Amino acid sequence: MSGGSRLLRFLGIGALFVALSAVPARAQVAGDIDLNGFHPAIDSRGYLTINASQVLGNKELSFGLESLDWGRGLLHFEGADPQHTYDVQNVVAATLIAAFGIHAGPAELEFGVSAPFVIMSGDRNPDMLGDPTTTKDDKFYKISGQGVGNIGLHFKTRFLKTSKPPHIGLGMIASVYLPTASPKHKWLGEGKATPQVIGILDKEFGRRGALRIALNGGVRIRPETTFTDSDTTGKRVRVHHGQFVQELMDIVVIPSNVRESLL
């Protein structure tokens, strides 16, 4: 082969490499946003869905599966053509909790960690249906993901006890949710650290405190994040950087025998 032919082949291969490297990456099918903003109680003193002001005893350990939650229909996009849709249909999370109590003099302190395991499923339309006599060439554009969500680090303390008059509990939880969602771009969690501060107010009623009402309210500072569904609908979801206020109330009736075991 002559030197000129080698040069032309070399230049051709180089041009092909440059052209391939210049092709833009395919758009992400899913995003890094915590669509299901629910977080369970951080210890066994809580009411599953929300926290109680009571903290763990000195050197007391709490560990286990705190809750299993399911978010349904959390995101829906529809394009100019109604057949072009994007849906996050289900987000199921099981959260493992570990917490440890420390009493330093009059201060009641608690440190904890939470680890959610998340399963997500969704759908994109339109699908591509081939030969109507067979399903072997049909293509269905599903979206799915499973893995670890945002691991949380928590600090809890209490200022007022429900066991003392006027039987009102007051506490606080400071948390930070780490950007540990893996794999990425699967709607498993936030892509950046998310701090949160929650205040806890609960009240006991009855001679033995068998009826409790708890209120949680606080601030979650979520990172500014944008996801655009450029493949099907062209629609966009955006979480603005700022404060997200969470207020939850629960009413719990505790039988007297269980009540005694908690004290």
Confidence (pLDDT) at 113: 97
Higher pLDDT, 74 or 172: 172
Structural tokens at position 4 = 């000129």
Q: What is the pLDDT of residue 209?
A: 65
**The pLDDT of residue 34 is above 60:** yes
Burial of 247 (0-12, 13-18, 19+ CB in 10 A): exposed
Alpha helices for the chain (secondary structure H):
3-21, 256-262
**Can you give the residue ranges of every domain in the chain?**
28-262
Q: Is 164 exposed, middle or buried (0-12, 13-18, 19+ CB in 10 A)?
A: exposed
What is the per-residue pLDDT for 247?
Answer: 44
Strand-pairing partners, residue 243, are 221
What is this structure's pTM?
A: 0.77
The Cα–Cα gap between 239 and 230 comes to 17
Report pLDDT for 55: 95
Q: What is the mean pLDDT of the chain?
A: 80
Determine what percent of the chain is predicted with pLDDT higher than 70.
Answer: 78
Label residue 1 by pLDDT band (50, 70, 90).
low
